[in-house]
Amino acid sequence: MTHIPQPRKSPRQLRSQHTVDTILQATARVLATYGYAGTNTNLIAETAGVSVGSLYQYFPNKNALIAALHQRHDNQMLDVIDSVLNSNPAATLEERVAAIVQAMLHAHLLEPALHRVLEREFPLFDTPREHSLADQDIHRRMRHLLELHRAEIAQQDRDLATYVVLRIMESLVHAAALEPPAGFSTGQLEQAVVDAVMGYLATPGGAAPRVCGTVQLDRDAGRAAALADTLATLAFPADWVRAVSQDEASALAGLPLARGGVFFGQGMLVQPSLLIPALLATPGVRVVPAQVARLTRAASGWCARDGADSILAQADTVVLANAFGARAVLDASGLLAPLPRVAQMHALAGEVTLIPAAALGGGPRCVVGGEGYLLPDTGAGCVAGSTYVHGAAEARVGAEGQRVTLDKAAGLLGAGALRALAPGTLPGWAGWRAVLPGRLPAVGELAHAPGLWLAAGYASRGLSWSALMGDLIAARLGGEPSPLETDLSALIAPR
């Protein structure tokens, strides 16, 4: 390995730090003007306005100066990533990637001649990545960024993804600095690099959940105090959940909120209409469009049959995950009687309203919950929800329901919000929830029907609970440790 020249000593006082900075800036100017061959310590000292003796106090030769420039560049890139990580916690992965690319490209295009010399003429004294502490720190920071947005990326190997992302950024940014393509603006180049990174990372069609964070507002002072005590007792990591004041909550949401509460940094915005097709397109998943009427035992496992009693599919393990429809299938299969709680499952109607983002100043940057909820703009508007209509004959969007959802959204934002919107004039969506007594789902293998599993009754928490329950079922089937405590698993067992 090539020996990397080192400084003679590090500056300790502010004055000496200023001297070293001046010398390095002069080195950059001389290199950019004369190249490596035309650079010498006398010329650098003259350009810096210091004696060559002062230069030699810190650097033994010009190679040590160039190595220090490489180190300065690495530290600048590290500062860029740190700045992005410490900025808006509700930023999407693409927004953070764009911020990093923009800063990297700006830094390189600011001194293109210098970077041309460092990369082409004299890359020899750039410390190899495996030995560079700065490069290792950059890798750790980028991996942390990808981990924060793990729900937004398709790659499961975070270390490989980190390596590839850094190499894409480095290669394209350096190419743009060394050989700027004619006819393209800096903005076009930035977007091209972002598109390349996101094309590698992202799931297709914008289907990935967006990690934007969730502010859950306090409902009253008593509950707020109890929640604060709970957080203090359980000592959750602050980057997972932390208490926030009204001002902090408002800053996170980018809108004035009515109260403080708690902030879940990993809260996600999910668009089921995009996510579900992407999941169904996963290699190994086969979709058979059909309606299952009942299940019958087979020599090994179960048969799914349609209304004409034809076999649609057969498998050793079957998971019923069709919400309220599971009750009818179990009943038709003669399997419902031993499950009195499941037999009480019922469908509960409700609706959500799409509020124009412009009516909310662009909408909240994060999910806002409390008595109801308000979501960031999805492109079609900000979803506000929701209603609970017991005994409904149909699920429908209407003025009465929109009055409820708008009132709930206004309660999150404070008095006076959304008064200009007329209930009954906005788009929305209505549907059904599968609800069980006790507000807990029914998940697990049926004791009286080995090989048949149930995952239903999520009520209003389907997007949150279904992923966890999928892990629970997979762990049980694979003989792995359960992600749930034994007592919680017993509470949700089908019965």
Give the sign of the dihedral formed by CA 408, CA 413, CA 414, CA 420: negative
| pLDDT (0 to 100) of residue 205 | 62
70 and 116 share one domain: yes
pTM over 0.85: no
132 and 168 share one domain: yes
Residue 12 within a domain: yes
| pLDDT (0 to 100) of residue 251 | 94
350: DSSP letter? E
Closest of 289, 302, 291 to residue 335, by C-alpha: 302
Closest of 406, 486, 489, 481 to residue 453, by C-alpha: 489
**CATH number of the domain within which 57 lies:** 1.10.357.10
**Residue where a domain terminates, one of 203, 233, 259:** 203
Each of the 495 residues of the chain gets a pLDDT tens digit; together they read 445 566 777 777 788 889 988 998 898 888 888 888 888 999 999 999 999 999 998 899 888 888 888 788 778 778 888 887 777 767 788 888 999 898 888 877 776 666 666 666 555 544 454 556 777 888 888 898 898 888 778 777 888 999 999 999 988 888 887 777 788 888 898 999 999 998 888 776 667 788 889 999 987 766 767 777 888 888 888 888 999 999 999 999 999 999 999 999 889 888 888 888 888 887 789 999 999 999 999 988 999 999 999 999 999 999 999 999 999 999 999 999 999 999 999 999 999 999 999 999 999 999 999 999 999 998 889 999 899 999 999 999 999 999 999 999 999 997 667 888 999 999 999 999 999 999 899 999 999 999 999 999 999 999 889 989 999 999 999 999 999 999 999 999 999
Closest of 428, 427, 457 to residue 442, by C-alpha: 457
| pLDDT (0 to 100) of residue 119 | 66
- Which residues does 378 contact at the CB level (< 8 Å), separation at least 6? 269, 271
333 and 195 share one domain: no
304 and 408 share one domain: no
**Residue where a domain terminates, one of 175, 203, 231:** 203
Do 180 and 115 touch, CB atoms closer than 8 A?
no
Q: For the chain, how far is it from start to end, CA to CA, in angstroms?
A: 67
Q: How many domains does the chain have?
A: 3
Residue 478 within a domain: yes
Work out whether strand 382-385 and strand 428-435 pair parallel, antiparallel, or are unpaired.
unpaired
50 and 144 share one domain: yes
**Residue where a domain terminates, one of 203, 226, 245:** 203
**CATH number of the domain within which 469 lies:** 3.50.50.60
| pLDDT (0 to 100) of residue 1 | 43
Residue 31 within a domain: yes
307 and 456 share one domain: yes
Residue 280 within a domain: no
Domain that holds residue 252: 204-271+346-433
133 and 221 share one domain: no
Closest of 137, 68, 80 to residue 108, by C-alpha: 80
Do 261 and 236 touch, CB atoms closer than 8 A?
no
| pLDDT (0 to 100) of residue 132 | 63
| pLDDT (0 to 100) of residue 388 | 95
117 and 40 share one domain: yes
Distances (CA, A) of 493 to 392, 438, 441: 28, 13, 8
23 and 96 share one domain: yes
Work out whether strand 241-244 and strand 214-217 pair parallel, antiparallel, or are unpaired.
unpaired
DSSP string, 254-270: TS--SS-EEEETT-EE-
251 and 140 share one domain: no
449: Cα within 13 Å, side-chain hemisphere: 28
